[in-house]
Amino acid sequence: MTEHLDGNVLAGPLSELFRDDMTTAIGRCAHCGDVSVLATALVYDAAPGWCVRCHACGDVLMTLVWAGDRLRIDLRGVTALEVGD
Amino acid sequence: MSIFTRGFSGRGRDDNPALPPGQYLTEDFPVLSAGPTPTVDKADWEFTITTETGETHRWNWEQFMALKIDQVDTDIHCVTRWSKLGTSWRGVSLDTLFADVETSAGYTMAHSYGGYTTNVPLDDLLDGKAWIAFEFDGEDLDPEHGGPARLLVPHLYFWKSAKWVRGLTMMENDDPGFWEQNGYHTYGDPWQEQRYW
Ligand SMILES: [Zn+2]
């Protein structure tokens, strides 16, 4: 009996997360603790990267980088994401 | 798709040996930024170089403008695939700024007003390869283009030419800066197409 489950079990809950319209997802800013829907964030286009900043404190919530055929998302400034009704 | 684009524009590098691979000419000066444009008054501005021992060399605007000023005519290359040839700048060479700096560290982190960072090896800043530029095309550098002063390292992709630069910190290791942590190449040579990890 192993103590942990295989990472494949995440397929269910994480598809739940990313199935929803992510602009209505609620994120918590790691810097100031503000809790808001992602649609309120400030997005700066520095193609091939986007920098997404907290509307309340201006700190970085996440970055998206289109690196060739891959999209790399760094979520270091988001301590929680919440979806659902 | 890329074949179509190159055929369509007709301005790919086949026509121009000054263009690195995958780059296209632009006459514009696109504005790209990871954050809001900071307001930096020249009266409050300073530039610092901090060595690995913690020693800090600093210049205020007046001291900075009293240094030897270079005219710089160079091509610039953005990772978004635009290149602009024959741009004209004035600035202070990093050779001038490093003249009295004693360091054995091989790498630098450029820090900007507004919090942006980017890593550049010291060798890429010296020997006439980099400047702190304050004038573009005969005019004060616009805030949206990095004024009052920006780093200018034209032989690397332009995200390395940090806008609103406020200082350099010497590093023993090549620690990644803001975009370098998040997917951009750590060195960024346009001739090697070092765009991403
Ligand atoms: Zn915040």
Over residues B78-99, mean pLDDT = 96
Residues in chain B closer than 8 A to A42 (CB atoms): 36
pLDDT at residue B5 tops 50:
no
pLDDT at residue B10 tops 60:
no
Output the average pLDDT for chain B: 92
Using only C-alpha atoms, chain A has a radius of gyration, in whole angstroms, of: 15
Query: Any bridge partners for residue A27, and if so which?
Result: A36, A81
The residue among B2, B23, B196, B197 with the most chain A CBs within 10 A of its CB, best to mutate, is B196
Give the model's pLDDT for residue B11: 52
Give the model's pLDDT for residue B48: 98
pLDDT at residue B8 tops 90:
no
Got the DSSP string for chain B?
-HHHHHHHH--SGGG-TTSPTT-EE-SS-----SSPPP---TTT-EEEEE-TTS-EEEEEHHHHHTS--EEEEEEEE-TTSEEEEEEEEEEEEHHHHTTT------EEEEEETTS-EEEEEGGGTTTTT-EEEEEETTEEPPGGGTTT-EEE-TTS-GGGS-TTEEEEEEESS----HHHHTTB-SS--GGGT--B-
pLDDT tens-place string over residues B106-139: 999 999 999 999 999 999 999 999 999 999 999 9
B15 phi/psi in degrees, rounded to 5: -90, -15
* Contact state of B32 with A72 under an 8 Å Cβ cutoff: no
Q: Which two tokens stand for residue A38?
A: 């992602």
Give the model's pLDDT for residue A11: 85
Instruction: Tokens 């990772």: give the residue.
Output: B79
Nearest one of B160, B162, B149 to B188, comparing CA atoms:
B160
| Spacing, Cα A9 to ligand 1 middle (Å) | 32
Helix (H, G, I), strand (E, B) or coil at A36: strand
**Percent of chain A with pLDDT strictly greater than 90:** 53
Which of the four pLDDT bands, split at 50, 70 and 90, describes residue B20? very high
Give the model's pLDDT for residue A7: 85
pLDDT at residue B9 tops 70:
no
Which of the four pLDDT bands, split at 50, 70 and 90, describes residue A1? low
pLDDT at residue B1 tops 60:
no
ipTM above 0.85, yes or no: no
Which of the four pLDDT bands, split at 50, 70 and 90, describes residue A13? confident
* Contact state of B36 with A45 under an 8 Å Cβ cutoff: no
**Percent of chain B with pLDDT strictly greater than 90:** 88
For the entire predicted model, the pTM comes to 0.89
Of A47, A60, A67, the CB nearest to B183: A67
User: A15: Cβ–Cβ under 8 A, 6 or more apart, which residues?
Assistant: none
Domains of chain B: 45-192 (3.90.420.10)
pLDDT at residue B15 tops 80:
no
- CA-to-CA distance for B46 and B112, rounded, in angstroms? 11
| Spacing, Cα B177 to ligand 1 middle (Å) | 21
| Minimal C-alpha gap between B132 and chain A (Å) | 21
Alpha carbon separation from B139 to B61, B89, B91, B142 (Å, rounded): 17, 9, 12, 8
CB B59 within 8 A of CB A77: no
Helix (H, G, I), strand (E, B) or coil at A32: coil
Give the model's pLDDT for residue B30: 85
Helix (H, G, I), strand (E, B) or coil at A50: strand
